[in-house]
Every structure is written in C-alpha cells, then in structure tokens.
Amino acid sequence: MRYCTRCIYPENHPLNITFDDEGVCSGCRVHEEKDRLDWNERFQKLGEIFNDYHHRGYYDCIVPVNGGKDSYFITYIVKVVFKLNPLLVTYNIHYNTKVGIRNLANLVTKFDCDHIHYTVHPELVKKLTHLSIKKMGDMYWHCLAGMQTFPVQMAVRLKIPLIVWGVHGWSDQVGMFSHLDMVEMAKKVREEHGLRGFDAEDMTEEAMGIAAEDVERFRYPSDEEIEAVGLRGIYLGNFIRWDAQKQTELMIEKYGYESAEQERTFNPYETVDCFHDGGLHDYVKYLKYGFGKVTDHACRDIRLKRMTREEAIDWVAKYEGKKPKDMDVFLKWIGMTERELMEHIDPFRDRRIYEKDSSGRWILKDSAVNHRNDPGVEAVRLEKIEERKYFLTKPVESHSLERGYLLTGRPYLDQRNFKALED
C-alpha cells in the first residue's frame, strides 16, 4: 500500500486521494493553500455574502448544530462576529452522550438562539441501521443522511435561503476541492461521498418494514424546491483558515465547551457527542480500510506543523487496532451477535489492505507503522513549529454505556443543571 510521504494517509482512502511525483497526497497539497491565501480578504468576502442575507426575513440563515466542537465556532462566527440571527437546527443522531447533550444545551443557552431539534422514532432508526449494515457495511447512514438533509429540508420549508456549514471535510482530508473553488453544499457530493452512494430511495425494504414514506424525512429537496428559495449552503472553511484545535480551545475558554477522552484517538475534542462515532463506527472504518480517526487527526496535525510524521505513526500504533468497548451495547440494541456484524462487514473489506490467512482470519497486510522510513520523506517534510497539547475539561457527570442511549436532554442549561453545582 502506498502512503503519503508527508502525512500518513494511504492510497485506499474511501474519499479518493492522489499522489504527485514527490509522493505527497492531494490533501497535503490543498492544505498548503492555508499558508498562501489572503485570509483577511476571504473573511471580507464572507462578510459581503452575509450582508446579502441580513434582514431578508426573521432568520438570516440556518446553522446545523450538534453537541460537537464545530457547532460552537460556526454559531460564534455567525451570531457574535457578524451579528446575524441564525436558526439552529439539529438532527438527533440517537447515540447521544451526556457530554454531547450538555454541550448542545449550553450552546443554545449561551448564544441565545432559536433551535429546532428533530428526533426520528427509535424503531425506524434501528431498522435503517440494520439495513445500512447489510447494504454498505456502515452503521452510521441515518446519522449522516439526517445531518446533511434535515437542515436543507428546514431551509426549504421556512424559506431561509442560506445554510452555513463548517469545514468541507472531504477537501480538508483529501483535497477534493481547492479553497479557491468555493465549493458549496450539493446533493451530488452528499450522496456519492457522505452517503456512500445510497440515498433515501435506496433505503426502502418491505421485508424489514421500511416503506417509501418512512424515508421521506431523509429525502433531499428537489432542484425546483431549492431554486424556488434561492438556497445555497456555504462552508466557512473557504473563508476562514480552519484550525479545529485552536477554534475549539477558544470555544472552551469563551463558552464552556466540554471535551472528553476518546477510546481510539488522542484527540479529546471531536466526536464527544456520540458513543459510536469515535468508537464502533470508527472501528468498522478500520476493519474496512485499515485506518481510522487517529490517522485523520494525526494527518491534520502534521499539516498544521504540530506533529512529526514519526509521532503520528506512534499514535497509530497505539490506537488504530483497538477494539472499542461500545460494541456490546450496540449489538444488544440492534439485535446482532458480533459474528453476525462481522459477516456483514467482511464483504466490504478492502482487499488491497486485508487478506485471509490459511485459517480464515482476516490479516491487515500493511499499515502506516511499516512506512516510517519511506524514500522521499525528508524531501517533503514539514518542520514541526508548535507543540500544542490537547487537554481535557473537568467532567461534570459520568454516563455509563450500560444505561443505554439518551434520545434527548434538557433544553436549558445553567450552573445547577446536570450537577454542575450541588444544591
């Protein structure tokens, strides 16, 4: 397997990645734009866009939010910096942690915004999850479909012509687009990359009790509906030099965002709102492609000149193959054994990175760990210029997985909610 000579992304990245003559991946090359572009000029351009939508209606825009880090920063830019009146919109991912619920309640409270929170009934979520595991070896389809569809549906229904998203993750990871392309949210990219090629109409199954009307809540609005509103969805990452670590630490300092220790990565700022995103869901990604979130996080820190390639490989060695503790609660909820789950995942394993041995066990053929001394690394190495440590906030309240998922939480947060202060 070929690995980038600068970061440690492999050539089998599911979002597609290319390498130049020096062995540097497309994600690293696009990231170089962050050190070349005039971000003051781009920030002014963002202000011009916002001015066009200010006071068109009661709400100036929609901001999709959850209990994660980027939601705070996006809302901060929209509401505090540019003085817009956003409607916050949340699709309930079902697998909520108490940290995520507290973060979301704190977000709505501190920024004093109207908020719509949509929960699909749990039995349908279970059926769709079972089907997505069967069809694509992915337990997270409903989460991705809901988060990328519900805000657009609300924009169309309420005739709010602007949605403000955070960073374009596909470009940030693999350089799918340049920042100069000014790419916006589109149904095509959402379906092909976000939803692995399976849109709402592909997720009906009479035998499992999933009818066409059940998936309407995941159906992206038509071109005619979008054009009638004049809807566009912009990514702040095209206008702001995106630095998730610095941005999150600013939100911790200003608004009390909570971080949480993660089982499969060194980064405690991300996926704190979901039991499975950084756990079983990430482990399934590893079983399919041979890498997980620790690689994503390490590659980003290499590009930001906060980690050497060798340090990144050490983190991969520590976390990548770690089996998550949240698997049991998911299996109990979905009604599968571990063996059944693996039987659904096995057909989707990338044969470039996995093979079976003589006893029928799957063997990882290669890993970034084997590529410390690849030729060409020194020629393209980025100098580490900053030692920036992640840190954990003080936990307010524990939440054991054995107690099951939390579908919702309190809509208002003050110092006495969630035992932050004793009475």
Predicted confidence band of residue 23 (pLDDT cuts 50, 70, 90): very high
Instruction: Check which CATH number belongs to the domain holding 68 and give it.
Output: 3.40.50
Predicted confidence band of residue 420 (pLDDT cuts 50, 70, 90): very low
As a residue count, the chain comes to 423
3-state secondary structure of 418: helix
Same domain, 339 and 222: no
Predicted confidence band of residue 322 (pLDDT cuts 50, 70, 90): very high
Same domain, 327 and 297: yes
Write the DSSP symbol of residue 267: -
Half-sphere exposure of 179 (CA within 13 A, CB side): 24
The string of pLDDT tens digits covering residues 122-133 is 999 999 999 999
67-to-88, 91, 111, 158 alpha-carbon distances in Å: 12, 11, 14, 24
Q: Tell me which of 2-6, 116-120, 147-151, 195-199 is least confident.
A: 195-199
Please give the backbone phi and psi of residue 328, each rounded to the nearest 5 degrees, phi first.
Answer: -65, -40
Strands 362-364 and 354-356 turn out to be antiparallel
Helix (H) or strand (E) holding 299: helix 293-303
The average pLDDT across 214-235 equals 96
Q: Which pLDDT value is given to residue 401?
A: 63
Domain membership of residue 423 (yes or no) is: no
Q: Considering its fold, how many domains does the chain have in total?
A: 2
Q: What are the counts of helices (DSSP H) followed by strands (DSSP E) for the chain? A: 16, 7
Q: Which residues are bridge partners to 235 per DSSP?
A: 165
The average pLDDT across 191-208 equals 90
Residue 408 confidence (pLDDT) above 90: no
The whole-chain average pLDDT of the chain stands at 93
The alpha-carbon radius of gyration of the chain (Å, integer) is 21
Same domain, 82 and 189: yes
The string of pLDDT tens digits covering residues 258-313 is 999 999 999 999 999 999 999 999 999 999 999 999 999 999 999 999 999 999 99
Burial 99-111 (b: 16+ CB within 10 A, else e): bbbbbbbbbbbbb
Domain membership of residue 28 (yes or no) is: no
Instruction: Print the domain residue range for 318.
Output: 1-7+260-400
Alpha carbons 352 and 368: distance in angstroms, whole number: 14
Same domain, 234 and 330: no
Same domain, 224 and 270: no
Q: In what order do the strands lie in the sheet with 61-64?
A: 114-118, 86-91, 61-64, 162-165, 232-235
Same domain, 301 and 384: yes
3-state secondary structure of 74: helix
Furthest-apart CA atoms within the chain: distance in Å: 67
Same domain, 239 and 264: no
Return the structure tokens found at 278: 């950084």
Same domain, 158 and 114: yes
Name residue 182's amino acid.
Answer: M
For tokens 């012509």, name the residue.
161
Domain membership of residue 23 (yes or no) is: no
For tokens 């597609």, name the residue.
16
Name residue 338's amino acid.
Answer: E
Name residue 245's amino acid.
Answer: Q
Q: Which pLDDT value is given to residue 195?
A: 86
Same domain, 123 and 225: yes
Choosing from 189, 211, 243, the residue where a domain stops is 243
Same domain, 83 and 198: yes
3-state secondary structure of 87: strand
pTM of the predicted protein model: 0.94
Q: Which pLDDT value is given to residue 400?
A: 64
Domain membership of residue 29 (yes or no) is: no
Residue 119 confidence (pLDDT) above 80: yes
Domain membership of residue 59 (yes or no) is: yes
The average pLDDT across 106-129 equals 96
Same domain, 173 and 316: no
Same domain, 211 and 100: yes
The average pLDDT across 61-79 equals 97
Residues of the chain with pLDDT > 90: what percent? Answer: 88
Residue 415 confidence (pLDDT) above 60: no
The string of pLDDT tens digits covering residues 380-395 is 999 999 999 999 998 8
